[in-house]
Structure 1
């Protein structure tokens, strides 16, 4: 990809992220409340994957 195209793509992502960050906190409270079980499952899966990754990294360091 060209550098100009990369800047355009990054700016779009940043703009959307900034827009979300400036959203009403009450709206986010409702969204989180409605999706609580999905968020908890996502967090649990993420923790498990991080734990596995940490273990693999430690094992890799021991082999050297």
Structure 2
């Protein structure tokens, strides 16, 4: 999926301090807003749950640490 590739790239940029937390978070929120226009609630939940459980989105939940 294109979003997953983009998210991986943005996460790498965030780890290298090349983008801010706000930019990373805005990208995730933007995709969620875009995805809401389709009937894909289950898909959104599966993607985000798998990425949260794997620690991939850990920076989104540890802002300021």
Shorter-chain TM band: 0.3 to 0.5
Tell me which protein shows more helix as a share of its residues.
1
TM-score (norm 2): 0.34
Q: Which has the larger radius of gyration?
A: 1
Q: Which structure is richer in relative contact order (CA contacts within 8 A, separation 6 or more)?
A: 2
